Chain A
Amino acid sequence: MEKKNEIIKEDEQSAGISRMDFLKGVAIAALGGAALLTTKKYTTSPDVKAFEGKKKRYGMLIDLRKCVGCESCTIACKSENNVTVDSSGMNARRIFWNHLVYTEEGGEHPAIHARPQPCNHCENPPCIKACPVGATYEDESRGVVLINYDNCIGCRMCTVYCPYSRRYFNWEKPHFPHVERLDEKGMTASAGGFNPSVQVRTKGVTEKCTFCIHRIIAAEERAKKEWREVRDGEIQPACTATCIGGTRTFGDLNDPGSKISRLVKENKDKIMRLEEHLGTEPKVFFIKENI
């Protein structure tokens, strides 16, 4: 301590602060202050900082060899995400965020093939380019394409631009017979009619699969509370959780150790994505059935 004081004293005596130096000091202090103000403050511990900044790229792998076409995923998705229940008599207006596409095969060994089809959450989504108000956007830290239902103007540019026809429009006011029945009995919707963590849409807006973003966020928060990273396989969208055949694998494509990354790597020759030539880079992978 004594030494330190001596040095300071020496400094003061020998240097004799000039006007130039004073101005320099002020300038440096000002710059330093500005730098301090602009730097983002981290209140969490250094360990959390390390993985909070890491970008996730969630994707899904669907092993068509295991799919039995039971449509459980379709139903799980509908009830999980408060999707309207058949609003009109028109088949072509029904909303299925997850849709099973069937193809028939004739010939000597006739067969029917099912292909579950959620939103592809493209790396390069045509829908986002088309939206005039930015209502559809990419959650950049997770690589998920989402819709802000409160900003959507219902122009249907995105539905028309999606080459996979994976977007749906609320032609009418969403209809929920089970909730209406609860209401009739004097119970409120919160008594179990709706999933409270998913926003109910209004008529005239677009909607589509969100990879169950509410489940992703919930898992992340849980992990944050427990001072750890999200474990691989911890996040399961409703369709993945319900699948009886274990057809679906959901996980982070950026993490080379995750199950989905490993499966994509292992089955390189059997993997396909839809309309790859369009350059949309879908994050939903399929393992082909007939190989």
Chain B
Amino acid sequence: MKTNFSNQLIDLPKKATGRAYWGWFTVFTILVLFGIGAWIYQLVYGLGVTGLNRPIFWGIYITNFVFFIGISHAGTLISAILRVSNAEWRRPVTRMAEAITVFALFIGASMILCDMGRPDRLLNVFSLGRIQSPLLWDVISISSYLFASIVYLYLPLIPDIAAMRDRMTTRGLLYSFYNNLALNWRGTVAQKTRLERAIGASAIMIIPLAVSVHTVVSYVFAMSVQPLWHSTIFGPYFVIGAIYSGIAVLLIAMLIARKALHLESFLKEVHFKYLCYLQILMFGLWFYATFGEYLVTGYGNEPSEMRVILAKIFEVHSWGFIGMFAVMLMAFFILTPTDRLVRALRLPTMKINSVAAFVLALGGWAVLFSIIYSKGMNSAPALVASVVYGLLLFLVVIPTLRKNWFSIALYSSIFVAMGMWLERFTIIVPTLARPRIEEMIWGSYTPSWVELSITVAALSVMALLFLIFAKVFPLISVWEVEEGAEAIEQVKTNMQEYLPDENGIG
């Protein structure tokens, strides 16, 4: 069944190009090239050009690695879980989620390359690899996940690629590109059955694989005996954080695509609403794990662990730890109907421009933090500033950012992405800064311009790959959205099965 929007969606990649598209394309390309330049500079002069030192051997490269591998969970895990559980609203969401997965995995893996002292010896990992090392578990699990997610992105793409091939009028290089990728797809019943079985099987298989990936990433830290790393919660904690940040980045990408490609009639408010509900759940899980981790270690009061906790809260890298809690709580307040509570208390709320509110939230936080940092937590200026900031947040910022589910999704996702990056930073750096042999070294770490520009480049590669993908393939799974209309009957019969019988009891 071809609905009237099918061809529109198939033609979307062609229409995607405008002045804005090429503008952003150029901006991101320049940023990526600058990052590559910085990396070459680092190759020539060694890791001395970073801010890393002893004992802080790992910095924002590893933070980025964990962050990007985390983002890759969005995708596949969300789209696989939604597919397996037959959530019908998933249809326009899955393609973007799967694409993000593949891109983020590539970038995450390349971050390790940036962090290596001898990247020329990368292949030693394969020729001399020792399975005893947690890093090799990473290599195995990430490479299988990368392969699986490419397959999982490609399988549902086949019918759309065939449709694109069929819409082409010329028989050039591009035609043979799509023709080869379409694998002779004709849309016959036999082919469709086979495809659906393949997608179903890989959706089920990819879930344990995705869980294993971030578990193993956490094991790189948890397998050591370093204070606050050697923790059994790290596996699930990292997986939860991965899904949390993954959905956040997916939401941001969906909002951008919706706006840029005018997909208002496909990506509706309800999609964002459901994903935001998922985010509230993920916040709960994340908070539970974080709370448990710090309460348990803090209550235990083991000296070497306590030093790290105190360093996190009060010392040089406290901006990371406290900033993480601040943005995460802000995301939670935006996700949940706090403004209704404020209105129920009959407090006067105020609405301003949403961008201004966003800037206010972060700027106010920076002012508050610097006052607390310089004057101390119990000082009068700090107390006044906290009260002012709290009122500002609840009466002005949050009512403004909670305009509709689009703005809730956008702002909460930005905060969540920031918070999750800070969480990874605050897991990695303070533990290294306060090693066990306490009198030996107190470390501190500030990223250098090389590290920052490589980080910016990593984010730009993400955006660039997304732009290129939008130019080559439809960002929405056309055939699956088409099938959505047919699914209504299916859902009805499914529901008949579990509705109570008419005669009731007896």
Spot the interface stretch: B259-267, B376-384, B392-400, B434-442.
B434-442
User: Which residues of chain A come closer than 8 Å to B116, judged between CB atoms?
Assistant: 153-155, 204
Interface assignment of B211: CB less than 8 Å from any CB of chain A: no
Q: Of A117, A157, A159, which contacts B135 at CB under 8 A?
A: A157
Interface assignment of A133: CB less than 8 Å from any CB of chain B: yes
User: Which residues of chain A come closer than 8 Å to B252, judged between CB atoms?
Assistant: none
User: Which residues of chain A come closer than 8 Å to B439, judged between CB atoms?
Assistant: 101-103
User: Which residues of chain B come closer than 8 Å to A274, judged between CB atoms?
Assistant: 437
User: Which residues of chain B come closer than 8 Å to A117, judged between CB atoms?
Assistant: 437, 440
Tell me the bound Cα distance from A99 to B440 in angstroms: 9
Of residues 159 through 179 on chain A, the ones whose CB sits less than 8 Å from some CB of chain B are: 159-161, 163-165, 168-173
User: Which residues of chain A come closer than 8 Å to B50, judged between CB atoms?
Assistant: 171
Interface assignment of A55: CB less than 8 Å from any CB of chain B: no
User: Which residues of chain B come closer than 8 Å to A135, judged between CB atoms?
Assistant: 124, 128
A153 contacts B46, CB within 8 Å? no
User: Which residues of chain A come closer than 8 Å to B135, judged between CB atoms?
Assistant: 130, 132, 155, 157
- Interface membership of chain B positions 426-444, coded 1 if the CB is closer than 8 angstroms to chain A and 0 otherwise: 0000001001110111010
Interface assignment of B125: CB less than 8 Å from any CB of chain A: yes
Given contacts A92-B441, A132-B125, A151-B128, contact A165 B55 (CB under 8 A): yes
Closest Cβ neighbor of B442 among chain A residues: A92
Given contacts A102-B439, A152-B118, contact A165 B48 (CB under 8 A): no
Given contacts A92-B443, A132-B139, A170-B117, contact A156 B58 (CB under 8 A): yes
Q: Of A99, A129, A132, A157, which contacts B129 at CB under 8 A?
A: A132
CB distance from B126 to the nearest CB of A (A): 9
B54 contacts A160, CB within 8 Å? no
Interface assignment of A267: CB less than 8 Å from any CB of chain B: no
Count A-B contacts at CB 8 Å. 145
Closest Cβ neighbor of A113 among chain B residues: B439
Given contacts A92-B441, A132-B139, A153-B118, contact A163 B225 (CB under 8 A): yes
Given contacts A165-B435, A204-B117, A205-B117, contact A132 B46 (CB under 8 A): no
User: Which residues of chain A come closer than 8 Å to B132, judged between CB atoms?
Assistant: 129
Q: Of A99, A154, A173, which contacts B118 at CB under 8 A?
A: A154
B57 contacts A131, CB within 8 Å? no
B53 contacts A93, CB within 8 Å? yes
User: Which residues of chain A come closer than 8 Å to B119, judged between CB atoms?
Assistant: 153-154
User: Which residues of chain A come closer than 8 Å to B139, judged between CB atoms?
Assistant: 132
CB distance from B47 to the nearest CB of A (A): 5
Interface assignment of A88: CB less than 8 Å from any CB of chain B: yes
B121 contacts A151, CB within 8 Å? yes
User: Which residues of chain A come closer than 8 Å to B46, judged between CB atoms?
Assistant: 170-173, 203-204
Given contacts A134-B130, A204-B117, contact A160 B226 (CB under 8 A): yes
Closest Cβ neighbor of A168 among chain B residues: B54
Given contacts A132-B130, A173-B46, A204-B46, contact A164 B136 (CB under 8 A): no
Interface assignment of B52: CB less than 8 Å from any CB of chain A: yes
Of residues 71 through 127 on chain A, the ones whose CB sits less than 8 Å from some CB of chain B are: 87-88, 90, 92-93, 99, 101-103, 117, 126
CB distance from B475 to the nearest CB of A (A): 36
Closest Cβ neighbor of A173 among chain B residues: B46
Majority DSSP secondary structure for residues of A touching B: loop
Q: Of A88, A160, A164, A171, which contacts B436 at CB under 8 A?
A: A164
Tell me the bound Cα distance from A93 to B117 in angstroms: 14
User: Which residues of chain A come closer than 8 Å to B134, judged between CB atoms?
Assistant: 130, 157
- Interface membership of chain B positions 131-147, coded 1 if the CB is closer than 8 angstroms to chain A and 0 otherwise: 01111100100000000
Tell me the bound Cα distance from A126 to B436 in angstroms: 14
B443 contacts A101, CB within 8 Å? no
User: Which residues of chain A come closer than 8 Å to B437, judged between CB atoms?
Assistant: 101, 117, 163-165, 274-275
| Residues of B within 8 A of A (CB-CB), count | 44
Tell me the bound Cα distance from A244 to B123 in angstroms: 47
CB distance from B221 to the nearest CB of A (A): 8
User: Which residues of chain B come closer than 8 Å to A206, judged between CB atoms?
Assistant: 117
Tell me the bound Cα distance from A206 to B116 in angstroms: 11
Tell me the bound Cα distance from A22 to B67 in angstroms: 72
Tell me the bound Cα distance from A90 to B117 in angstroms: 18
Tell me the bound Cα distance from A49 to B500 in angstroms: 86
Most chain B beta-carbon contacts within 10 A, residue among A88, A155, A159? A155
User: Which residues of chain A come closer than 8 Å to B112, judged between CB atoms?
Assistant: 155
Tell me the bound Cα distance from A90 to B432 in angstroms: 17
User: Which residues of chain A come closer than 8 Å to B136, judged between CB atoms?
Assistant: 132
Tell me the bound Cα distance from A68 to B125 in angstroms: 45
CB distance from A174 to the nearest CB of B (A): 10
Tell me the bound Cα distance from A129 to B133 in angstroms: 6
- Interface membership of chain B positions 105-123, coded 1 if the CB is closer than 8 angstroms to chain A and 0 otherwise: 0000000100111110110
Given contacts A134-B130, A155-B135, A275-B436, contact A165 B225 (CB under 8 A): no
Interface assignment of A34: CB less than 8 Å from any CB of chain B: no
CB distance from B176 to the nearest CB of A (A): 41
Interface assignment of B45: CB less than 8 Å from any CB of chain A: yes
Tell me the bound Cα distance from A173 to B46 in angstroms: 7
Closest Cβ neighbor of B131 among chain A residues: A132
Interface assignment of A35: CB less than 8 Å from any CB of chain B: no
Interface assignment of B370: CB less than 8 Å from any CB of chain A: no
Given contacts A87-B48, A101-B439, contact A159 B57 (CB under 8 A): yes
B133 contacts A165, CB within 8 Å? no
Interface assignment of B336: CB less than 8 Å from any CB of chain A: no
Tell me the bound Cα distance from A130 to B443 in angstroms: 22
Tell me the bound Cα distance from A168 to B52 in angstroms: 12
User: Which residues of chain B come closer than 8 Å to A165, judged between CB atoms?
Assistant: 54-55, 435-437, 440-441
Task: Report 19 cross-chain contacts, Cβ distance below 8 Å, ordered by A residue.
Answer: A92-B55, A101-B437, A103-B439, A126-B225, A132-B125, A132-B129, A132-B135, A133-B121, A134-B130, A153-B121, A153-B122, A157-B133, A163-B435, A163-B437, A165-B436, A171-B52, A202-B118, A204-B116, A274-B437
Q: Which residues of A approach B to under 8 Å, CB–CB?
A: 87-88, 90, 92-93, 99, 101-103, 117, 126, 129-135, 151-157, 159-161, 163-165, 168-173, 202-206, 274-275, 278
Q: Which residues of B approach A to under 8 Å, CB–CB?
A: 45-48, 50, 52-58, 112, 115-119, 121-122, 124-125, 128-130, 132-136, 139, 220, 223-226, 432, 435-437, 439-441, 443
Known: A171-B47, A172-B47; 7 extra A-B contacts, CB below 8 A, are A92-B441, A130-B224, A132-B136, A132-B139, A152-B118, A153-B121, A278-B225
Sort A-B residue pairs by CB-CB distance and give the 7 closest, nearest first.
Answer: A154-B117, A204-B117, A172-B48, A92-B53, A171-B48, A132-B133, A132-B135
